[in-house]
């Protein structure tokens, strides 16, 4: 087994070497070895990809579609994304110049960060948030500015945003996740309007990660910053969550053509193009699968109400989740504020895996994230185990 030559110990990219592994993934891996554990740690749908979408991919393979696709994505898929954004959000994007198909929303984030951020640039990241943002930003040499939203119900207010801009000095960009991972919170139309005003007045670039946009519950509705500031917002989304296609790795980016020119170029440098049959499946999903997210939404909303009621009954507190498929709950008072210790004890003594809130940045300490993208049977058993764990301590 070869070992790196001693003379080459300093050959690695320092920015990458300084990054730690994903704490979320590391914790999930650790608890996975516990016999009989029910894991509510990873945000992955337990539902299957709809059959008509799978069949579209099979048909594409059998048709020998095995050559390089256009670097920004198949024309038909970019047209399907454009039509979808028009139907769902009344947004107008030119499929030829303003849309790019990426390898998942993570690939889209990489494309965007590497296209707009320079070393030393500051980008505002409301927290708690999916922690991979921090790592991807740091790779570019830019500086993520964490903004704790826990005192405002996990919503970044326009007033708070302006205070941070005033305190930080020159800021280049902001990224907003809506609906939120990990909190499940959804921004109202008015809240986005107010944020857009501050973003415009301070001449920022905004990035909206809307991967959970189809999964919004009750009377809530998904809106986008692009509805208010289309000339300065970059919209990122994909099919992973609403269509149960996490493993297919299909995302997309939409924004002003002047920015998209560089983003499309970066996407080509990083991946050349997205897999042909995956794009065929995405075309089918967007053109003929409008009912698929509706069915998924019904399932997730039922699970949300079940878990929320059960957790609140035994002392967990939360800002009401309105979208995605997570509950971000404050652990009962008798456990103090050490969410990491709580999550470890819950895993090893009650055999339920949840993710410590501190892994999602500032404002997450004392909370845990539970994914209800698991079967109702698993959720019922996990709630029974959590209840026994809490009540036995009492």
Per-domain residue ranges for the chain? 6-48+292-393, 67-289
The residue assigned the tokens 């049977």 is: 377
**Local confidence band at 349 (pLDDT 50, 70, 90 cut-offs):** very high
Side-chain half-sphere CA neighbours of 167 within 13 A? 10
pLDDT in tens, 43-83: 899 999 999 999 999 999 999 999 999 999 999 999 999 99
pLDDT of 12: 86
Q: What is the pLDDT of residues 373-387, one digit of tens each?
A: 999 999 999 999 999
Helices (H), the chain: 14-17, 23-32, 51-62, 75-89, 104-116, 132-139, 158-168, 189-201, 257-271, 276-288, 291-313, 339-345, 376-393
Identify the pLDDT of residue 88. 97
**CATH 3.40.1380.20 matches 67-289:** no
The per-residue pLDDT of the chain, averaged, comes to 96
Work out the average pLDDT over 28-45.
94
pLDDT(394) > 70 = no
The fold adopted by the segment(s) 6-48+292-393 is 3.90.1150
Burial 136-174 (b: 16+ CB within 10 A, else e): bbbbbebbbbbbbbbeeebbbbbebbbebbeeeeebbbb
What is the distance between the alpha carbons of residues 45 and 47, in angstroms, rounded to a whole number? 5
pTM: 0.96
Q: What is the mean pLDDT of residues 164-183?
A: 97
249: pLDDT confidence band, cut at 50, 70 and 90? Answer: very high
Share of the chain above pLDDT 70, in %: 100
């Amino acid at each position: 087994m070869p070992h790196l030559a001693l003379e080459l110990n300093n050959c690695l990219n320092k920015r990458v070497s300084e990054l730690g592994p994903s704490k979320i993934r590391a914790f999930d891996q650790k608890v996975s070895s516990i016999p009989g554990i029910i894991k509510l740690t990873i945000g992955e749908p337990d539902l299957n990809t709809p059959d008509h979408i799978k069949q579209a991919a099979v048909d594409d393979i059998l048709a020998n579609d095995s050559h390089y696709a256009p670097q920004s994505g198949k024309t038909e898929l970019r047209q399907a994304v454009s039509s979808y954004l028009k139907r769902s959000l009344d947004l107008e994007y030119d499929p030829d110049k303003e849309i790019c198909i990426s390898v998942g929303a993570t690939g889209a984030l990489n494309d965007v960060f590497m296209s707009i951020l320079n070393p030393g640039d500051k980008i505002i990241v409301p927290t708690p948030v999916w922690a991979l943002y921090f790592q991807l930003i740091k790779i570019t040499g830019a500086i993520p500015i964490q903004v704790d939203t826990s005192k405002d119900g996990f919503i970044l207010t326009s007033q708070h945003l302006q205070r941070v801009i005033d305190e930080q000095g020159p800021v280049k960009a902001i990224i907003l996740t809506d609906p939120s991972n990990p909190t499940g919170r959804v921004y109202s139309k008015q809240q986005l309007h107010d944020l857009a005003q501050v973003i415009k007045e301070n001449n920022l670039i905004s990035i909206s990660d809307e991967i959970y946009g189809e999964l919004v519950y009750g009377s809530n509705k998904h809106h986008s910053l692009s509805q208010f500031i289309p000339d300065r917002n970059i919209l990122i989304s994909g099919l992973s969550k609403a269509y149960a296609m996490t493993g297919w790795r299909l995302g997309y980016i939409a924004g002003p053509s002047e920015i998209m020119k560089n983003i499309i170029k970066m996407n080509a440098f990083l991946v050349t193009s997205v897999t042909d049959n995956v794009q065929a499946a995405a075309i089918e999903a967007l053109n003929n699968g409008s009912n698929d997210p509706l069915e998924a939404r019904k399932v997730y909303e039922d699970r949300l109400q079940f878990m929320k009621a059960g957790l609140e009954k035994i002392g967990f507190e939360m800002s009401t989740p309105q979208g995605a498929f997570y509950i971000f709950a404050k652990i009962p008072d008798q456990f103090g504020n050490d969410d990491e210790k709580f999550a470890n004890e819950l895993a090893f003594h009650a055999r339920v895996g949840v993710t410590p809130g501190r892994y999602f940045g500032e404002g997450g300490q004392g909370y845990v994230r539970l994914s209800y993208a698991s079967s109702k049977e698993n959720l019922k058993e996990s709630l029974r185990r959590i209840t026994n764990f809490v009540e036995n301590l009492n």
